[in-house]
Structure 1
Amino acid sequence: MVYIIGSTVLLVIFLFCTLRQIVNPSNRTLTLYADYVCPFCYLEQQSLVEYRQSHPNHPLVNWLPYDIRHQKRTTGGFLDTQYDIGYPEQVHTKISKLAQKHDDGTMLSPADVPLVDSLPAQIVSWYIKHEHPNRWFAFTDRIFTALWCNGEDISDTGVLRNIAEESGLNRNAIDIPLKKADAREQVLTQCAEARHAGVGDVPTLIYESRSLHEVTSANKLAEFIHEQG
């Protein structure tokens, strides 16, 4: 009798855990293509933060790097020092309107943000995502804040060290990927693969079989994810 009862309890626990894995979105993945220097990606990050705060069982974020300035790079992957990423007036207007909806008023105007190369930050972020996954979201959020709220140069090693430390990492951890000879090539290859896969702009979010290619509110993001869950 004890054996039967024990077996029944184990079966119930197994079925419960299996069902929870099926219905729990945290076992699923939201793929996000984003570049830190993109203002629309910053705004989407704010919605993503808000969504995660209100949905404890949120899906894991699988960030994939994207390079909005790839056409301005030399063969070695370095930005042309003469590049100009100024936005037309209508784009500034669009950014301003979106910021009123999705930001708390701390976002700088693109004209007040330094023109920096996001590749060093993406290289470090790619490393942290794989080596310290539990610290990655905090790190990537602070990268966006450093550039778009504080106007910091996220290509600067000192800035990246400070952000790593604020994210609960050893500040010197960023030296590992930045000193690896193939790290830059790995990230640039990921960016190229994104373009070859048809990602033409960011932010791009993919969840199961559907995709979004625009800045959304936290509520819209929740609808996008949970209507499929």
Structure 2
Amino acid sequence: MMMTSSDGRFVLYSDFNCPFCYALHERVHDLGLIDRCQWRGVQHAPQLPRPMEPWSGSLGAELRHEVTMVQRLAPGLPIALPPGKPNTLPAIEQAVALLRKDPQYGLDFIQRAYRAFWCDGRDISDPLVLKELAGEHFAEDIDGQNQVIAQKWETAWHATGQNGVPLLVSPDGDLLVGCVSKEQIRQFFM
């Protein structure tokens, strides 16, 4: 059974290290629809290292290809080729803690984390980077409840039957998969 938002909002499954997720998040934000979403961070590549390691060879080529694709799909989106991809669990757990404490501040942190990685190439698995991005609301110790919530998000994402991100789920359970146009997003939210 697919889990939808319990409060009637759309659910946005997303991973910080996915450029398509970054682009979709920016589009949803630019359209003024982010407040109608419950952002749920998931790891589509949990094997990635902490700290982030530079990618070269075929992995570097894959990362360049992804960034080039996003530049074509979202012209004008500020994006730069990062040196690698980090494990995003620390950033996801920080987002959970901030969303629980202050939902608006949590959403602001999420946007800052995407931009820190995709515009500035910063390692968002680094606790010092996360502390800077979270500011005074930084959660020093991620408690068990934050970890449980992050795991529930992961489980619910897998229950959709989709294995990719980004993924939007309507309150009725309809799915919108991938980095889609602003018009497709508007239609989905109607």
Shared fold, TM over 0.5: yes
Kindly tell me: are residues 94 and 60 of structure 1, through their superposed partners in 2, closer, same or farther at Cα, counting changes over 3 Å? same
Equivalent residues of 1:43, 1:103 under 8 A apart: no
Note the C-alpha offset of 1:94: 5.7
Matched position secondary structure for 1:86: helix
The one-character-per-residue Cα deviations of 1:189-219 (angstroms, maximum 9, x if unpaired) are: 4313421342311000011332111101222
Find out whether 1:195 has 2:158 as its counterpart: yes
The one-character-per-residue Cα deviations of 1:152-195 (angstroms, maximum 9, x if unpaired) are: 11111121111112xxxx15x32132xx2564454234313421
Aligned to 2:42: 66
Find out whether 1:86 has 2:59 as its counterpart: yes
Equivalent residues of 2:167, 2:176 under 8 A apart: yes
Aligned to 1:220: 184
Kindly tell me: are residues 182 and 69 of structure 1, through their superposed partners in 2, closer, same or farther at Cα, counting changes over 3 Å? same
Find out whether 1:49 has 2:12 as its counterpart: no
Matched position secondary structure for 1:176: coil
Equivalent residues of 1:33, 1:202 under 8 A apart: yes
- Percent of counterpart pairs with the same letter? 19
Matched position secondary structure for 1:192: helix
2:139 to 152, 174, 180: 174
Find out whether 1:138 has 2:108 as its counterpart: yes
Q: Which runs of 5+ in 2 are unaligned?
A: 1-6
2:134 to 164, 181, 188: 164
Kindly tell me: are residues 113 and 184 of structure 1, through their superposed partners in 2, closer, same or farther at Cα, counting changes over 3 Å? farther
Higher helix proportion: 1
The alignment's TM-score, normalised by the length of structure 1, stands at 0.67
Kindly tell me: are residues 124 and 223 of structure 1, through their superposed partners in 2, closer, same or farther at Cα, counting changes over 3 Å? same
Higher relative contact order (CA 8 A, sep 6+): 2
Mapped partners of 2:144, 2:188: distance in 1: 39
Mapped partners of 1:94, 1:161: distance in 2: 28
Note the C-alpha offset of 1:60: 1.9
- Equivalent residue letter for 2:70: L
Matched position secondary structure for 2:10: strand
Kindly tell me: are residues 135 and 182 of structure 1, through their superposed partners in 2, closer, same or farther at Cα, counting changes over 3 Å? closer
Equivalent residues of 2:23, 2:77 under 8 A apart: no
Mapped partners of 1:209, 1:193: distance in 2: 12
Mapped partners of 1:192, 1:141: distance in 2: 23
2:120 to 134, 150, 175: 150
Aligned to 2:3: none
The number of equivalent residue pairs is 181
Larger radius of gyration: 1
2:94 to 85, 106, 124: 124
Mapped partners of 1:98, 1:88: distance in 2: 14
Note the C-alpha offset of 1:134: 1.9
The one-character-per-residue Cα deviations of 1:61-112 (angstroms, maximum 9, x if unpaired) are: 1112211123x38xxxx87x99x892765x8546413323425353112xx3
Question: Aligned-pair RMSD on alpha carbons?
Answer: 3.1
